[in-house]
Each structure stands twice: as structure tokens, then as C-alpha cells.
Amino acid sequence: MSTAGDRLAVDCPSCSSAESTVHEVLKAGSGRNTVRCTECAHVHKVRVESDARVERDVVVSQDDESFSTRTEIPFSETLSVGDEFIVDSAEAILQVRITGLELAPEERAETARAGDVATIWTRGIDNVTVKTTLNPKEGTGDRESTRSFDLQVPGDYEFVVGETESLGDEEFRVKAVQVRDDAPEYRHGKLDHEGDMVYARDVKRLYGTDRTTSAWSAW
């Protein structure tokens, strides 16, 4: 159900004739809410239908940065961790994936109706940073040493176990991929069989064998 402070897109009998306007919920009732139009400040009652829309806070994280915006969602729509949608904000238009649903302070859920959610926590997945760990290639004389770095790639870039990647100055053979907890449709949390494919947006960490010519020249 709606709560005071929520925003609904409904018709205003005072100023809107053809299009709905955003209203602030002043008092929530059982099936009927007292609302105030944000355009003309008219206060009236509305029945909350199943197709009513609400505005919700969205926190978008990308790498070490984050920003907040708002989005409009059908009141009765079911949201779940792992769902993806488009955020259109002043900062950017980007695709995001839900990482958490905050119903109230210190109360979170994996799945909830939009009308019951206060804040939607997300991360951007259009372009992502992939944490990568490489073992030295054979013949270097030091197989215990590794090096780690970040790769910046499109979220839909495909990493396939067993294939060789050449990205920027790096060349390596993919050995295994640790999958993110919020990633859907994967049979295991770590994929290491030849031919296993993971989209970059779903990678928690990538493991490979170094094939960069000069990577270990100092060793």
C-alpha cells in the first residue's frame, strides 16, 4: 500500500484534463488516498488502482561512485534483485540491475511490490569494470606469482572459458570466471569448463593465464 510522502501519477480534477500529473500522498487509506497535486496544490482523494504508478528513489552505483535519482513504476509491479531496467536521470541514461530493495530503514527484501519499496538499490551495467587476476604463462620460472588489474569493457562483452582475449595491452587465456551473486541464469557461482560463457556485467572476478609478451620480461 502507499504511504505518506509517496508520489502517484493520477488525474487532477483542478488542473489536468488529458494527462496525469504527479501527486504527493498526504494520507494513505484502504484503497483511497488523500493526495496533493504538485502542479496546482489541489488536495483531493483518489482510489488506488492496480495500474497506478508511484515514484521511487533509486541509488545507482558504478565502480566507486554513486548517485541518486527517482523513477516511476507501476504500483503493483513485482521487483526482484537481479531485475534490470533503464534509468533516465539528469546524470545519464543507463541500464541498471537491482542489487537491493529497501522497504524501510534496516529492512530489505529480495522481492517486493513496487508500492511497498522505499528505495531501489542498483548498479550500472552498460559499461563495467572487470576485476582480473592472471597467473604467469608457462616457462616464466615463477608459477606462484600473479598480477591483478581492472578491465573496462561493455556490460554485454562475452568472456568464454578457454578462449584468448586481447584487450588493450593485455593478452590472456580465460581459465575461470567467478559470477556475481545478483547475476541470473548461470548454473554455478564459478564457471571453469571449456566453452562456459559469462557476460562482463555478471563477472565478479575473472581468472586467466597471462600471454602478454612483455608482462613477465623483468622476471
Neighbour count for residue 149 (Cβ, 10 Å) = 12
- Cα-Cα end-to-end distance for the chain: 64
Give the model's pLDDT for residue 216.
45
Give the model's pLDDT for residue 219.
40
Query: How confident is the model over 183-217, as pLDDT tens digits?
Result: 877 878 899 999 999 999 999 999 999 987 654 44
Query: How confident is the model over 145-174, as pLDDT tens digits?
Result: 789 999 999 999 999 999 999 998 899 999
Confidence check: pLDDT of 142 > 70: no
Of all residues in the chain, what percent carry a pLDDT higher than 90? 53
Confidence check: pLDDT of 68 > 60: yes
**How distant is the alpha carbon of residue 50 from its chain centre?**
26
Of the candidates 123, 126, 120, 101, which has an alpha carbon nearest to the alpha carbon of residue 111?
Answer: 101
Give the model's pLDDT for residue 42.
92
Query: How confident is the model over 15-59, as pLDDT tens digits?
Result: 876 778 888 889 877 678 899 999 899 999 888 765 678 889 999
Confidence check: pLDDT of 144 > 70: no
Indicate the DSSP class of residue 1: -
Distances (CA, A) of 187 to 178, 191, 193, 196: 12, 8, 12, 10
Q: What average pLDDT does range 94-104 have in this prediction?
A: 94
Tell me which fold the domain 53-125 belongs to. Answer: Ribosomal Protein L25; Chain P (2.40.240)
Indicate the DSSP class of residue 200: G
Give the model's pLDDT for residue 85.
93
Write down the mean pLDDT value for the chain. 86
> Which pLDDT band holds residue 79 (cuts at 50, 70, 90)?
very high
Residue-range domain boundaries for the chain: 7-47, 53-125, 128-210
Give the model's pLDDT for residue 188.
82
Give the model's pLDDT for residue 141.
52
Distances (CA, A) of 40 to 13, 35, 53, 187: 10, 12, 19, 53
Long-range interactions of 41-50: CB distance < 8 A, separation 24+: 42/12, 42/13, 42/14, 42/15, 44/12, 44/13, 44/14, 46/8, 46/10, 48/1, 48/2, 48/8, 48/75, 49/75, 50/75, 50/76
Beta bridge partners of 79: 112
